[in-house]
Amino acid sequence: MRDTEQRAAEAYKENFGAEPDAVVSAPGRINLIGEHTDYNDGHVLPCAVERRVAVAIGRGNNELHSADFDEKQPLNGEKEGGWQDYPRGVAWAVKQAGYETGGINATFAGDVPLGSGLSSSAAIEAATILALDTLFGLGIGRKEMASLCMKAENEFVGVQSGIMDQYASLLCKEGNALLVDCRSLEEEHVPLDLESAGLALLVCDTRVERELGDTGYNDRQETTARAARKLGLEALRDASEDDLERLSDDELKRTRHVVTEQRRVMQAVEALKNEDFEMFGKLLYESHASLREDYEVSTPELDTFVEASSEAGALGAKVTGAGWGGCAIALVSAGEADRLADDTRQRFTERDFGEPVFYQFVPAAGAEVVA
């Protein structure tokens, strides 16, 4: 068992006075490319990271327990703005879908940084649904699990997010990125062995924390849905560069990002398959520029890391996830990663930004039942 899984199991025992019936965990993710394309029915290319939320679960009186916050919450209740909203939302969505469950007790422990754009919320949701499925033998398929978690996020938590994070957390495979068609929900595992290519994926957590509900996220979702309606399309995934002439202002800019990003995801997958990391990196830089200028979700901190990456000769860099803070990634020679981190720290100090945190990730396994 991983450390987080052990912590959840032990805290469960201490708290509920019995062994859990099952222990599961689900990872956070980074997104390589395909930002804000998921809720526009497009493609995304995330990979799971070795930061997880673990749940120890058993039959009980519907008590949720967080080992990290040392806090108990009832499973049944309204949205309150805390960690309990995610398991509550998932239990609600599972019930709505007609699955029969009994009472539970559950302990959560995690090491996905919160509010950082590494999808700690999707990891809690994915771990919760896998735990419920395991305990009650519900037989929910992984894709349906992802859809139910998205429903919890959209309708219970109130963030109009797409399916990427939940899908990545539930379906990623170690050593692979995951290409997801967010319309058909078909996926393809794309091998990503950066080590053999002498490369590393450096993640810069700017420590600018945010909850998506407090950002312009829902606004971006509304604007792109409106632009699709204006164009007479089901979703912007179906838009072409020619359609841009029929739009103006924010609708034009947001749509231009989605149309060009959709093209870049497909090119990026081709580049990975050809092991053309130069091309792959170039697409990451282009994605960042589009997210900064057209989708307007970058921040000075994220831009500073991307600028430092480019000046250090990194192959590519971009914000990862929604933006408005959180993390950015850079594809860099393995030997250069530490220097890039130091250089970024210095630039952050000079610009009076908070102290960033760095990680190096390789593609990790998706959600697993471990006991």
The interface region with ligand GLA, picked from 104-112, 162-170, 197-205, 274-282 by CB under 6 A, is 162-170
Instruction: Select the residue interacting with ligand GLA from 162, 356, 363, 366 (CB under 6 A).
Output: 162
Q: d(Cα 151, Cα 348) in Å, to the nearest integer?
A: 38
CB of 186 to ligand GLA, least distance (A): 17
DSSP secondary structure of 231-298: TT-SSGGG--GGGGGG--HHHHHHHHHHHHHHHHHHHHHHHHHTT-HHHHHHHHHHHHHHHHHTS---
By annotation, the residues acting in catalysis are 165
Nearer to ligand GLA, 52 or 318 (CB): 318
Residue 87, Cα to own-chain centre: how many angstroms? Answer: 17
Range 228-257, binding ligand GLA (CB under 6 A): none
Q: Is the Cβ–Cβ distance between 312 and 343 less than 8 Å?
A: yes
Q: Which of 191, 186, 149, 201 is nearest to 170 (CA)?
A: 149
Residue number with CB closer to ligand GLA (57 or 319)? 319
To the nearest whole angstrom, how small is the minimum distance from the Cβ of residue 149 to ligand GLA? 11
Give the helix/strand (H/E) hosting 148.
helix 142-151
Burial environment of residue 123 by CB neighbours within 10 A (0 to 12, 13 to 18, 19 or more): buried
Cβ 181 to ligand GLA, closest distance in Å?
Answer: 14
Ramachandran angles phi, psi of 241, nearest 5°: -60, -30
Q: How many residues bind ligand GLA (CB under 6 A)?
A: 12
Q: Which residue lies nearer to ligand GLA by CB, 5 or 35? A: 35
Site track 299-328 with ligand GLA (rule: CB under 6 A), x = hit: ----------------------xx------
CB of 86 to ligand GLA, least distance (A): 12
Q: Looking at beta carbons only, is 199 or 212 nearer to ligand GLA? A: 212
For residue 235 the two structure tokens come to 């979703």
Q: What are phi and psi of 254, to 5 degrees?
A: -65, -40
Residue number, 92 or 217, with CB nearest to ligand GLA: 217
Residues 56-85 that bind ligand GLA (CB under 6 A): none
Report the b/e string of 73-98 with b at 16+ CB within 10 A. bebeeeeeeebbbbbbbbbbbbeeee
The CA–CA distances, whole Å, from 370 to 26, 64, 83, 304, 367 equal: 11, 20, 23, 40, 9
Contact mark string toward ligand GLA, 20..59, x via CB under 6 A:
-----------x---xx-xx--------------------
Q: What residues contact 153, with CB distance under 8 A and at least 6 apart?
A: 89, 121, 122, 125, 159, 161, 166
Under rule CB under 6 A, residue 165 binds ligand GLA: yes
- Name which of residues 114 to 133 contact ligand GLA (CB under 6 A): 119
Shortest distance in whole angstroms from residue 321 CB to ligand GLA: 4
Report the nearest approach of ligand GLA to the CB of residue 262 (Å). Answer: 12
Smaller CB distance to ligand GLA: residue 16 or 167?
A: 167
Q: Cβ contacts of residue 120 below 8 Å, gap of 6+?
A: 28, 53, 110, 112, 113, 114
Cβ proximity to ligand GLA: between 148 and 164 the closer is 164
Q: In angstroms, what is the minimal distance from the CB of 161 to ligand GLA?
A: 3
CA distance 147 to 291: 26
Identified binder of ligand GLA from the candidate list 8, 135, 152, 164, rule CB under 6 A: 164
Angle between helices 277-293 and 300-311 (to 10 degrees): 150
Residues forming a β-bridge with 316: 331
Nearer to ligand GLA (CB atom), residue 35 or residue 336: 35
Among 4, 154, 161, 176, binds ligand GLA (CB under 6 A): 161
- What are φ and ψ of residue 184, in 5° steps? -85, -15
Q: Residue 330 Cβ, how far from ligand GLA at the closest point, in Å?
A: 18
- Residues forming the site for ligand GLA (CB under 6 A): 31, 35-36, 38-39, 119, 161-162, 164-165, 321-322
